[in-house]
Structure 1
């Protein structure tokens, strides 16, 4: 794995840790100014909408366990299991595209409840 791949994987780990800890201030500098986020519920929303719509207002996650982390050129593919405070959990896959050392795009593919 190249140094850039390692750095990008570390950025992805920090992204999920900040999400669980509810620290959007840690994530803002990780994103490009033209960042977009897509999921089955969101179609290429910009970074402002991402923070308004996708970041929980109250703590709902106990943990996010990264099960797969695969760098592939300008992307990092992530498979994870999220544990919610209420005891439920689910799996998702995300493709995170980088421009240099910053996250330019996140595409979420919803998995199933476990």
Structure 2
């Protein structure tokens, strides 16, 4: 495994851990200044809007179980199961695009509730 691939895999895993710990400072340092986030609800929102919309005031998630993680060049694909504090869970896929050692974009594809 190449050093860049290992580094990017660690970055992705650290992002989910930092989200659970409500560490915007850690995630902010992982993102490019022109970072964009897209999902079925968000169309290429910028990093400021991402932090406003996607980081709840109260914790929602109890955990993320990364079921699949692949790195290919500047891209990563993650399939995870999210466990919510209210007992619910769902599975999503997220596609990351890197620029250098930072995340330039994330595209989320919503899965079904489990």
TMscore range, shorter length = over 0.9
Unaligned runs of 5+ in 1: none
Separation of aligned partners in 1, 2:31 and 2:46: 11
Q: Shift of the alpha carbon at 1:77?
A: 0.4
In structure 2, the residue matched to 1:7 is: 7
Structure 2 unaligned regions, length at least 5? none
User: 1:63, 1:39 → 2: CA distance?
Assistant: 20
Moved >3 Å (runs of 4+): none
2:99 counterpart residue number: 99
1:73 Cα deviation from its structure 2 partner: 1.4
d(CA) in 2 for partners of 1:54, 1:30? 16
Alignment correspondent of 2:17: 17
- Which deviates further from its counterpart, 92-101 or 20-29? 20-29
Q: CA RMSD in A?
A: 0.5
Rounded Cα–Cα distance in structure 2 between residues aligned with 1:9 and 1:112: 25
Q: TM-score, normalised by structure 1?
A: 0.98
